[in-house]
Structures are given as structure tokens and as C-alpha cells.
């Protein structure tokens, strides 16, 4: 198999692009795709300060590496989630990445800083772990970006993530969520601008980028996410993609160009009526925001071991 560009030996075939690449031209392909995403969707302006949400997985480390390679002023933030060895290894990967490159990484630890961790939160609230995990991460990253004076938050959501979320939103006709499923969420009072520069890259491509760049990311899957609905949607889409390359890209980008606008009014309506949280000042629909309520409920609770939490299953009250 030969590189489509230089005819040298190829190391990866991208059927959805009908192309094969050698290492150098694959890395250039990734940089070009991220540049196109940033340009097409006006994600980051020259000179802006970027806060990258870093988990230690392939997507966030690839994103951070790509932004730095492209010349952006990008610093990282990672959150210790307390999910046993998985979280420890994830944090180690993020710290090592930053250390090797001399990049600034801001660290927060849920247990040390807020008195809880994700397995404990899932057990006490009797909700799926991804619920408290996602909410905690969004709240803390928003707050860090605003407090730190960053212009924009960049997250490692890739094409597969967006296509899977879109599939879930369509299957359940979550019209409000469809209205705000965008590669850019503009800044609003209490919220920083959020961008997803990897939306044009699949997760096979971000993983390949890390291998070829020598980025040591955590390969193991989060034990809390095993079997969750999001992963099942990804598997379903990959089954379709295998027989019909390009389907995920068409599904997501045709949605953006042809359908997303129809749902925007519902998303806008849902954003109205937000007021500052009485405790932390973050925007919320109630008096106290979901994060402060979670901290109040589970903060200081005795830690629950990871293996006592059943992932991916909603616990009934």
C-alpha cells in the first residue's frame, strides 16, 4: 500500500477519504483537518488563550499536541476523578505529556478539593457514573476558564463522539439537545466559548495520530463507562461505516448544514431564565446549581470502591 501523496510506504488507509498515508503525510492530514475545522467554524482567533480539557486519553492529548503544533497558546487542565487506578493512570499520562513538552497543566482533584469522587457520587445519587462525571467536568472547566481569563475551552470530542451523540439525540428526539449540538458553543454570561477542533477526525485517526507522534496515552477504557449507551451507538455506527465508508461524516456534517438550524429555537428557549447559583455564581435554572448540590450531598462521604459500582446501569430509587 502506497501513500496517496508521496507514493512511499503507507501505514494507514482511510477508506472514507479513499486515501492511504505514510506517517508524515498522515500527520499533515490531521493538522489540515483541525485547521479546516477551526477555520470553517471560527473556533479560535489568532492570539487567543486556549484551555484544553485534558483527560490523558488519545483525543485530548492529540488535541493539545495539534493545537501547540499549529501555534496556538494552549494550556491544559485535568481533573482527578477518583476512578481507582484508571484515574491515577490518566492523570499520570496528562502530567507526563505536559512535563515532557514544558506545557502548563492546571490540576484539580475531586476528592482532595471537593471531598468526593465519581464512584461515590454515582453510588450516593443512584445515578449512572457518567452523569455526575460529565456535570462535574463541565462545571469545573467552565469555572477554571472564566477565572483564568482564557478566551476559549477546547475539548477532544471527535467525529465518532459527535455522530454517536447525534444518533442518540435523534433516536430519542431530544430536540433541545439537537439544537445545541454544535462544534462551537458561543460564550454567554457564566459560560466560556467551547470548541471541538477534532470534529473532522475519527477516533481511529486520533489514536493513529498519537501512535505516530509517540504520545503515550491511556488505552484502557474507563471502567465506569463500560457498556454504556454511547459506546453501543459508536459500535452500531462503526458497523455501518465498515460497509459504507463516510457515513459518520455525512450523518454529522449534513445534520449541521441541513437540520441543526431547525432545532435552535428550542435550545435558545432552554437557555433563557438562567440565574446565578446562590453558592458559586454559575448559571443555573434553580437557586443552587447542580454541582453545588452534588458537593453538598456527597462531599465528605466515605469513598466507595470502584468495583462496587455497576457501570452503565441506571439505579432505580
Residues that bind other proteins (CB under 8 A): 1, 10-13, 20, 23, 57-59, 129-130, 133-135, 137-138, 160-161, 164-165, 168, 202-204, 206-208, 211-212, 214, 219-222, 224-225, 228-231, 234-235, 238-239, 241-242
**For residue 112, what is the DSSP state?**
I
Residue 49, strand partner residues? 73
Retrieve residue 223's grid coordinates. Answer: 471502567
Give the separation between CA 135 and CA 291, rounded to whole angstroms: 7
Instruction: Choose between 19 and 146: whose C-beta lies nearer to other proteins.
Output: 19
Q: Write down the least CB distance from residue 96 to other proteins, Å.
A: 17
Instruction: Choose between 125 and 238: whose C-beta lies nearer to other proteins.
Output: 238
Q: Write down the least CB distance from residue 237 to other proteins, Å.
A: 9
Give the separation between CA 30 and CA 159, rounded to whole angstroms: 13
Instruction: Choose between 75 and 203: whose C-beta lies nearer to other proteins.
Output: 203
Residue 13, strand partner residues? 20
Give the separation between CA 54 and CA 76, rounded to whole angstroms: 6
How many CA atoms lie less than 13 Å away from 1 in the CB half-sphere?
12
Q: Write down the least CB distance from residue 263 to other proteins, Å.
A: 19
Instruction: Choose between 24 and 254: whose C-beta lies nearer to other proteins.
Output: 24
Instruction: Choose between 147 and 235: whose C-beta lies nearer to other proteins.
Output: 235
Instruction: Choose between 48 and 96: whose C-beta lies nearer to other proteins.
Output: 96
Q: Write down the least CB distance from residue 182 to other proteins, Å.
A: 17
Q: Write down the least CB distance from residue 238 to other proteins, Å.
A: 4
Give the separation between CA 161 and CA 209, rounded to whole angstroms: 17
Give the separation between CA 153 and CA 64, rounded to whole angstroms: 11
Question: Is 283:191 a contact under the CB 8 Å cutoff?
Answer: yes
Q: Write down the least CB distance from residue 16 to other proteins, Å.
A: 9
Amino acid at each position: 500500500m502506497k501513500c496517496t501523496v508521496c507514493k512511499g510506504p503507507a501505514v494507514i488507509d482511510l477508506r472514507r477519504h479513499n486515501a492511504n498515508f505514510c506517517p508524515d503525510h498522515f500527520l499533515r492530514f490531521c493538522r489540515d483537518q483541525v485547521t479546516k475545522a477551526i477555520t470553517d467554524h471560527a473556533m479560535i482567533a489568532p492570539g487567543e488563550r486556549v484551555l484544553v480539557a485534558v483527560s490523558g486519553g488519545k483525543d485530548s492529548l492529540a488535541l493539545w499536541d495539534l493545537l501547540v503544533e499549529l501555534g496556538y497558546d494552549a494550556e491544559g487542565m485535568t481533573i482527578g476523578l477518583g476512578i481507582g487506578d484508571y484515574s491515577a493512570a490518566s492523570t499520570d499520562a496528562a502530567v507526563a505529556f505536559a512535563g515532557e513538552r514544558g506545557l502548563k497543566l492546571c490540576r484539580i482533584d475531586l476528592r482532595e478539593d471537593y471531598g468526593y469522587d465519581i464512584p461515590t457520587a454515582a453510588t450516593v445519587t443512584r445515578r449512572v457514573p457518567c452523569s455526575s462525571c460529565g456535570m462535574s467536568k463541565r462545571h469545573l472547566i467552565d469555572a477554571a476558564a472564566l477565572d483564568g481569563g482564557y478566551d476559549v475551552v477546547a475539548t477532544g470530542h471527535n467525529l465518532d463522539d459527535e455522530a454517536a451523540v447525534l444518533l442518540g439525540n435523534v433516536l430519542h428526539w431530544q430536540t433541545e439537545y439537537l439544537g445545541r449540538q454544535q462544534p462551537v458553543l458561543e460564550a454567554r454570561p457564566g459560560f466560556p466559548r467551547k470548541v471541538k477542533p477534532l470534529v473532522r477526525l475519527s477516533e481511529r485517526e486520533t489514536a493513529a495520530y498519537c501512535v505516530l507522534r509517540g504520545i503515550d496515552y491511556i488505552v484502557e477504557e474507563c471502567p465506569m463507562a463500560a457498556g454504556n449507551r454511547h459506546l453501543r451507538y459508536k459500535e452500531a455506527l462503526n458497523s455501518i461505516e465498515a460497509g459504507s465508508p463516510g457515513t459518520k461524516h455525512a450523518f454529522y456534517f449534513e445534520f449541521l448544514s441541513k437540520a441543526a438550524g431547525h432545532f435552535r429555537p428550542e435550545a435558545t428557549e432552554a437557555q433563557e431564565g438562567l440565574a446565578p447559583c446562590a453558592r458559586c455564581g454559575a448559571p443555573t435554572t434553580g437557586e443552587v446549581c447542580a454541582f453545588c448540590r452534588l458537593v453538598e450531598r456527597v462531599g465528605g462521604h466515605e469513598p466507595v470502591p470502584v468495583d462496587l459500582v455497576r457501570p452503565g446501569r441506571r439505579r432505580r430509587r
